[in-house]
Amino acid sequence: DGGITQSPKYLFRKEGQNVTLSCEQNLNHDAMYWYRQDPGQGLRLIYYSQIVNDFQKGDIAEGYSVSREKKESFPLTVTSAQKNPTAFYLCASSPEGASLAYTEAFFGQGTRLTVV
């Protein structure tokens, strides 16, 4: 079955450590996105990528990094520079190369990161 897989579902890390969240899709989608979701707030865009080897910062990119070496994969690294990393992270992809503005997004199941 085609879909987006995020792993792990729950992740605990000590403060000051970098951590990488995995996102893999087998939908042959060009565009992939990382969002952060906090209670009482809308989804906020961290990074997005429309093609392999290219990505752009979203609204809250500080303290995060990404790579897009393969079409299927878009890992997100939460660095120690991120001041408040505890959150629910969602990865998404869309079938159109342009933007989620034109089509529905397909989301992964999310990773809940807790930094202690």
Among 11, 30, 80, 107, binds other proteins (CB under 8 A): 107
The pattern of x and - marking residues 1 through 20 that bind other proteins according to CB under 8 A reads ---x----------------
Mind giving me the DSSP string for the chain? ---EEEE-SEEEE-TT--EEEEEEE-S--SEEEEEEE-TTS--EEEEEEEETTEEEE-TT-TTEEE--SBTTB--EEE-TT-S---EEEEEEEESSSS-TTSS--EE---EEEEE-
Instruction: Identify residues 45-104 at the interface with other proteins (CB under 8 A).
Output: 45, 88, 90, 98-102, 104
Instruction: Identify residues 30-49 at the interface with other proteins (CB under 8 A).
Output: 40-45
Instruction: Count residues near other proteins (CB under 8 A).
Output: 21
Residue ranges binding other proteins (CB under 8 A): 4, 40-45, 88, 90, 98-102, 104-105, 107-110, 112
